Amino acid sequence: MSLIPEIPFSSIINNNDKSIDILKKALTSHGFFSITGHSLSNDLVDHCYKSSQEFFKLNIETKLQYHDKKLKGARGYTPNGIETALGENIPDQKEFWHHGPIVDDSFDQRVSKNLFINEVVDFNKNYDNLFNELNQIGSQLLSAIALTLNLDSNYFNNWINKGNSLLRSIHYPAVISGNNQYRARAHEDINLITLLIGAEEGGLEILNNDGRWIKVNPSSNAIVCNIGDMLQLVTGNKLKSTTHRVMNYENHGNKSRYSIPFFLHPSPNTLLKSIYDHADEGVLAHDFLEERLNAIILYYYHDILIHTSDYYWFYWSYSYSNTFFWKYKNH
């Protein structure tokens, strides 16, 4: 069996003993597995990739209209060279778009509403549909994970009901210089579980228990899944939130890479409390998320220079809530 097992989705949701055992071993050793034979439509995925490519090809001035500082990166656009992994000093080589659930008055007020892209036809429609599909698959996987912990399959249902889950469309631009092979530096995910489509393009690596980086090479159309810090926290480190990164391999050449991870989050008011230690007071999901995000350089000071044909956009932020842009004429 490979380090990252591929498990038929139907066998997981039907509680096949062998598949649940394979899942349990993966969750407690390195926290990564992939699913095949899932219900996600290839056509829907293709539509979303096409929408993403159209958006990221827009000029920087247009894309920055969707960078709303009040949302603190929760929704909309974040430019390339902004997000920096915890403990790193060099920003990741990626720009991305954040899309969440369709929010109504029944949601916690801390769950942000989506921004609407005017320039790309059906962008929001496609991503609404993809969000709903992945949210359903994620919910089913979380039920199976509950069984591996000897919990009722519905244990986490209230946690993720009207949750603050997030769909991230990522564009890793073509690497012009060979000096930086890291597209996304080593990090762990904050949420409960992550579902990643597009990993078959190559570049994703995980850090195994021996301290070696292992390439993740899933089958075509497989969804790569991994445990996040929130689930590691409430299981007392029994389930592993493993360090991973995205590399630019030499044989990839000078080309862009796209991927779409889905981060399954609980509702902000969910108490993240140990499932084993009843004396544990826990922490609210919103507070845990904010604490982690505030430790990422995305929310602190740094400078980047974005070159366009007519302008240099100089982005400076001494805190994410005090972001502003200066535009210099390129002469």
Domain positions in the chain are 6-301
Check whether 172 has a pLDDT greater than 70. Answer: yes
DSSP 127-143: HHHHHHHHHHHHHHHHH
Q: Evaluate whether 261 touches 192 at the Cβ level (below 8 Å).
A: no
Place of tokens 């591929």: 6
Q: What's the whole-number average pLDDT of the chain?
A: 84
Report the pLDDT value the prediction gives residue 12, as an integer from 0 to 100: 95
Check whether 297 has a pLDDT greater than 90. Answer: no
Maximum mean pLDDT: which of 45-59, 70-84, 196-210? 45-59
Instruction: Express each pLDDT in 230-261 by its tens digit.
Output: 999 999 999 999 998 887 766 555 778 899 99
Q: Evaluate whether 260 touches 50 at the Cβ level (below 8 Å).
A: no
Check whether 202 has a pLDDT greater than 80. Answer: no
Check whether 306 has a pLDDT greater than 80. Answer: no
Q: Which amino acid is at 163?
A: G
Report the pLDDT value the prediction gives residue 300, as an integer from 0 to 100: 38
Q: What does the alpha-carbon distance between residue 266 and residue 115 come to, in Å, rounded to a whole number?
A: 21
pLDDT band at 76 (very low <50, low <70, confident <90, very high): very high
Report the pLDDT value the prediction gives residue 179, as an integer from 0 to 100: 56
Q: What does the alpha-carbon distance between residue 283 and residue 80 come to, in Å, rounded to a whole number?
A: 32
Class of domain 6-301: mainly beta
